[in-house]
Amino acid sequence: MMIELLFAGALLTASQQVPASAPPPVPTMEQQPVQLEDVVVSGRSLDSLIRDFVGEVAEPNRNRGLARWEDSVCVGVANLNGEIAQFLSDRISTVALDLGLRAGAPGCTPNILVIATADAGDLARQLTEERRRAFRMGGSGMDRGGAALRDFVEADRPVRWWQMSFPVDSETGDIAVRIPGRCANDCTSAADIAPQIAINAASRLTTQIVDNLTRAIVIVDVDQVSGITALQLADYVAMVSLAQIDPEADTSGYASILNVFEAPEVSDSLTDWDLAYLDGLYDAERNRAGVRAGRSEIIGSIRRSHEALRERNAGEEAAPE
């Protein structure tokens, strides 16, 4: 299905690329966003800042926990020249490797597809009309819903993204929801249609059902990304494809790569906020029942990731030259 999307989205020539330009002037100190290492800012604790950051950026599917890639990713890039396309693919794959994922070998079938275009809205509309089932498979908890898909098509953004995920049995890896059109055996009984999950330990506090990302498509408007570097673009795409990020999140108060289009001078790459968020997401066990409890687990994991980052940075500063 992703290969079909790749060919459907091939609208630009291979010679187009993302240019870099000089950043605008650095804002005044009063406007500087909060760095993760700031323990107290205006009377707010770090724990409070982390909780607010997660609450702002995290956008799971309806009534589901935060999803992540479980095993491996294969990054495909279309409609950029070979050198820049390879850089974007390599950089996103490197971020994934740092999170403990495997990166697909050359020639793998992309499950993260990045398409550059001069008309992102038209491409998004074309893809969703021609390949509707690639965006909404119809299973419970697999996507963010019809309103979000309309926003994906209609909202004018430099980068837009759409992800699919499956609730799965963490013990077996089996899909834990019914997928329309799929069944087992001869499809004559309820057991053939609905998935069968063996619960190892019944509990209201824990669960063995987790959410795994299975597909992501990212559309880049080449005209609107002309003011940032290839590294900034690659890290932005890595952030929004490796985690479920709210496209309407207001992260202006934080030093994050998610601000790159409004304030490209804030960061040249993923910041400590971004790295701690991704590390926390991929380190969490995700075994707490309930969306709120699961998010609290992610917050605690991000806090531990922050401590590890702070210790690492302190060690680098103390190391002799």
Residue 185 CB partners (closer than 8 Å, separation 6+): 192
- 154-213 per-position pLDDT tens digit: 999 999 999 998 887 665 666 656 565 565 555 655 555 555 555 555 455 456 678 899
Angle at alpha carbon of residue 292, lines to 290 and 296, rounded to 5°: 115
Residue by residue, DSSP assigns 144-169 as S-HHHHHHHHHS--SEEEEEEEEEEE
From the list 210, 150, 201, the residue with the least C-alpha distance to 174 is: 210
Reading the chain (321 residues) residue by residue, the pLDDT tens digits are: 443 443 333 333 333 344 434 444 444 434 578 877 655 455 577 788 888 999 999 998 887 888 999 989 999 999 998 899 999 999 999 999 999 999 998 889 999 999 999 999 999 999 999 988 889 877 667 889 899 999 999 999 999 999 998 887 665 666 656 565 565 555 655 555 555 555 555 455 456 678 899 999 999 999 999 999 999 999 999 999 999 999 999 999 899 999 999 999 989 999 989 998 999 899 887 655 555 656 777 788 778 877 887 787 777 766 665
Determine the number of helices (DSSP H) and then strands (DSSP E) in the chain. 10, 8
From the list 163, 152, 165, 166, the residue with the least C-alpha distance to 247 is: 152
